[in-house]
Structure 1
Amino acid sequence: MKLLLDVTPLRNPAYRRLWIGNGVSFIGFQVTGVAVPVQVWHLTASSFWVGMLSMVTLVPLIVFGLWGGAVADHMDRRRLLMWSSVLTWVATLALLAQAVLRLDQLWIIMLVTALQSTGFAVSSPTRGAIIPRLFDAAQIPAANTLTYTFTQAATLAGPLLAGVILATGSYAWAYALDAVLFTVMLWAAFRLPSIPPQAGAAHGTPGLRSVLDGLRFLRSQPVLLLSFVVDIIAMGVAMPRALFPELAQTRFGDSPDGGPAVGWLYAAIGIGAVLGGLFSGWIGRVRRQGLALIVAVAAWGVAVALAGLQQSLWLAVLFLALGGVADLVSAVFRQTILQTYAPDEMRGRVQGIFTVVVAGGPRLGDLRAGLMAVAFGAGVSWVLGGIACAVLVLVVGAVFPALARYHAPGGGPEERSPAQVT
């Protein structure tokens, strides 16, 4: 039983509502995450523009991820989560409107997805900064594993739903489902207890100076900094998702408008992460979390490269699923290291930087994959990215040993907050 997923954090009612809202809404978010690039591919027939779609969202992600993390250190995190979630929901409704009206304009899609990225950039570090206020330090790995497992279940279910919807319906149905499911996140944010800044939190206006304080803090913490570096390597170098629409059509037999193959490719990483999460009870007992993070990222790169070599859809899905297991492990350790290493008064800002890295890395990966696909072909782009990831992360671990030497601290409780007893 110690190998099975630890569900004890669900006894906390505040966390349970947040877990449900985040997981359910993420299903719709993933449906949109497939529908938008497929729609762009349909309009342009170019993997370059699919990759550029992610780059358009990167600028608001960087700007508002850093700013949102600073704001989360200055104000009630529940209120900030509510308003940023409303912004994301409005952007989803705008995607629905352009699909219903059949506008078919690339610039409109780019603009609306940038707006959606802004809401996500603020809400994501806010959610991450809330978790440590709900639990003792010893329970944080279990809570992060639960959160990541549910979001990866959404990563599995969302693309599969998208494949069915795009094969039998339209883009509008995909965006409509996202809009409906996201209302659960709005409910969860509304039902959270008030989570105001603790004593010793940042004062004044959450502007550039506050953001720079967070960057200076990160620079002084080599373990945190290196954990961000290996995540950029994992996602920015190896992520192959910008290639899925093209290879689903040219290698695995989908129609130009999308179909089951593209859904399976987008879902495969989530399949592995969910299965890995169900048997993740051992994760909370790992003490050498830094070394485990390095090994997991290297395994991710190898699995991605092997997936790119396959001519069979199901073998490609299998290896991507194995990569998903490794991605689950690395994600839990990255988040846990951050949440136990950074003090609460800096946690929002560091979580904001983490959001930029975690969400921006795959977008850089999309651009890298799209550019290499134009130059060398989609298959070569896929395989070389995975190989380069595995090599680079092992080199970084060897040259900068601070991360590999990192051991998890003791699990003493933080100062109790109103959120922990509500």
Structure 2
Amino acid sequence: MSARRSHFIDLSPFRASPAFTRMWIGSTLAGLGGQLTIVAIMLHMYELTGSTFAVAMIAVAGLAPMVVAGLYGGMLADAFDRRRVALVAATITLGSTVLLAGVAWAQLETVWWLYALSIVNSAANTVVMAARQAIVPRLIPRELLPAASALNGITFGIMVMAGPALAGVLVAFAGYAWTYSIDVVLMSSLFLGLWTLPSIRPEGVIVRPGLESLRDGWRFLKKASNIRLQFILDIIAMTFGQPLALFPAVGAVLLGGGPITTGVLTASVAAGAFLSSVFSGPVGRVRRQGLGIERAIIVYGGSITAFGLVLGAAALGWFAPVSVGETAPNVTLIIAAALVLAVSGAADNVSSIFRSTMLQAAVPDAIRGRLQGVFIVVVAGGPRLGALYAGTLATLAALWFPPLLGGLIIIGLVSLLVRLSPRFRTYDAAHPAP
């Protein structure tokens, strides 16, 4: 029985640190609430404008502020008490959500209100994430960092699987004002974990926020080949292997089923991440984490290639249902697509566990906040580049072509870059080196 249990997620971080437990619970509930607001704002924007372009511009408009917030938030986390930085940023996040709910209750919402408040909310939350991730290694032992990262995969799965569906139901039956108000309640839980923390000031030489702090972080990153390469690998994976922007068209044109298929495909990615965290016990025992990152991303690239093949089969009419109507679902290929996307979600989550652990263990505390800020920018910015790649190539060629080509590019580039960096392949978690 003990051997079997060892395959399940390691809950030792909860037992080792009540402070980490409270912060994880608060972050999970707040993240779920954040998903409610993200989806509700998108639906709200479409209702006000009737324009998918206006909806897409929510993400585009927030990109530059998010990058600035990630970098500056990391500098703040390396210069001041991280608990205080996270609390101030969380207060701004909560305030923007309260104002959003108030505007909706007063029926004063406009396009510019939605843009402005979503930007403030996203930027402030980015600072919270940078500070919070820099706090984690101060709460639990180094050997439990992989388990803590796997628990974050549970959080992501809950957010992405439950959040959008719950938002749709709430908007449909209760309205926007109630949906935003529920997020206010859930967002308040973020303070549960942060308020009870002790003061956590960075250790080592402190550099005040500004250009010198940025240069100091850049100088470290230039020497930290392992950390630098994991950033590059993640950007490659997300740029060439992020098919999310294709899902609506795939459901409408290739696989049939419309929005339901889109929801199934999206949930499949999150389900894969969730299940890989549930069964992440062996992941925490892997010492050669650089090699683990390489293999996980190659599996990710292979699953994205397989998704392209499934779409290609749909384009050829394979397993097409004998039914009247263009949106009749191709159930066989929808199931196949969902399975390979679940594998992609699982592989991406395993890679994320290793990357996050490496970052938290190998980077000195005095500069950890800045590197966490860069990490957040990479993680959030990569999918936006991926949407641009997939959307452009699908427009110029076909829906199945971006994932098919992108998956092969990922496998080739990642294999080449890691082979050229033997130090990364031999990285030992027992002796972390940036």
Tell me what 1:129 maps to: 134
Report matched runs for 1:389-404 at 5 Å: 389-404=410-425
Q: Report the alpha carbon displacement of residue 362 of structure 1 after superposing the two structures with TM.
A: 1.7
Tell me what 1:415 maps to: none
Tell me what 1:289 maps to: 289
Q: Given the two structures, how large is their TM-score scaled by the length of structure 1?
A: 0.86
Tell me what 1:365 maps to: 386
Q: Which is further off, 126-135 or 155-164?
A: 155-164
Q: Which is further off, 163-172 or 21-30?
A: 163-172
Tell me what 1:214 maps to: 217
Q: Letter of the aligned partner of 2:217 in structure 1?
A: G
Q: Letter of the aligned partner of 1:71 in structure 2?
A: L
Q: Which is further off, 51-60 or 75-84?
A: 51-60
Tell me what 1:156 maps to: 161
Tell me what 1:3 maps to: 7
Against the structure 1 CA distance between its residues 135 and 304, is the aligned structure 2 distance closer, same or farther, given a 3 Å change threshold? same
Native 8 Å contact 1:238 1:386 kept in 2:
yes
Against the structure 1 CA distance between its residues 317 and 406, is the aligned structure 2 distance closer, same or farther, given a 3 Å change threshold? same
Native 8 Å contact 1:244 1:262 kept in 2:
yes
- Gap regions ≥5 residues in structure 1: 412-422
Q: Given the two structures, how large is their TM-score scaled by the length of structure 2?
A: 0.84
Q: Does 1:241 align with 2:255?
A: no
1:299-340 per-residue CA deviation (whole Å, 9 max, x = no partner) reads 122223433535544433222211111011100100111111
1:254-295 per-residue CA deviation (whole Å, 9 max, x = no partner) reads 4xxxx5444333322221111111111111111111011011
Against the structure 1 CA distance between its residues 166 and 263, is the aligned structure 2 distance closer, same or farther, given a 3 Å change threshold? farther
1:208-264 per-residue CA deviation (whole Å, 9 max, x = no partner) reads 21122111101111111000111111222212223334444455434xxxx544433
1:33-84 per-residue CA deviation (whole Å, 9 max, x = no partner) reads 43444555664554x6555432322211211111111110111111111111
Q: Tell me: higher relative CO, structure 1 or 2? Use CA pairs within 8 A at least 6 residues apart.
A: 1
Against the structure 1 CA distance between its residues 29 and 381, is the aligned structure 2 distance closer, same or farther, given a 3 Å change threshold? farther
Q: Does 1:180 align with 2:185?
A: yes
Q: Report the alpha carbon displacement of residue 382 of structure 1 after superposing the two structures with TM.
A: 4.4
Give the whole-Å Cα distance in 2 for the aligned partners of 1:232 and 1:360: 8
Report matched runs for 1:59-70 at 5 Å: 59-70=64-75
Give the whole-Å Cα distance in 2 for the aligned partners of 1:94 and 1:375: 42
Q: Letter of the aligned partner of 1:288 in structure 2?
A: R
Give the whole-Å Cα distance in 1 for the aligned partners of 2:305 and 2:105: 39
Give the whole-Å Cα distance in 2 for the aligned partners of 1:361 and 1:230: 10
Give the whole-Å Cα distance in 2 for the aligned partners of 1:38 and 1:389: 33
Provide the aligned C-alpha RMSD in A.
2.6
1:373-410 per-residue CA deviation (whole Å, 9 max, x = no partner) reads 44345444444444433333223223344322322234
Q: Which is further off, 25-34 or 67-76?
A: 25-34
Q: Letter of the aligned partner of 2:58 in structure 1?
A: L
Tell me what 2:349 maps to: 328
Native 8 Å contact 1:28 1:182 kept in 2:
yes
Report matched runs for 1:85-104 at 5 Å: 85-97=90-102
Q: Which is further off, 64-73 or 293-302?
A: 293-302
Q: Letter of the aligned partner of 2:277 in structure 1?
A: G
Give the whole-Å Cα distance in 2 for the aligned partners of 1:247 and 1:34: 20
Native 8 Å contact 1:307 1:318 kept in 2:
no
Q: Letter of the aligned partner of 2:165 in structure 1?
A: L
Q: In terms of Rg, which structure is larger?
A: 2
Against the structure 1 CA distance between its residues 252 and 193, is the aligned structure 2 distance closer, same or farther, given a 3 Å change threshold? farther
Pick the aligned partner of 2:365 from 334, 337, 344.
344
Q: Count residues in correspondence.
A: 404
Report matched runs for 1:106-125 at 5 Å: 106-125=111-130
- Gap regions ≥5 residues in structure 2: 312-329
Question: Identical aligned pairs, as a percentage?
Answer: 38
Report matched runs for 1:299-314 at 5 Å: 299-308=299-308, 309-310=310-311, 311=330, 312-314=333-335
Q: Letter of the aligned partner of 1:342 in structure 2?
A: V
Give the whole-Å Cα distance in 1 for the aligned partners of 2:170 and 2:410: 33
Native 8 Å contact 2:20 2:140 kept in 1:
no
Give the whole-Å Cα distance in 2 for the aligned partners of 1:163 and 1:379: 28
Against the structure 1 CA distance between its residues 223 and 283, is the aligned structure 2 distance closer, same or farther, given a 3 Å change threshold? same
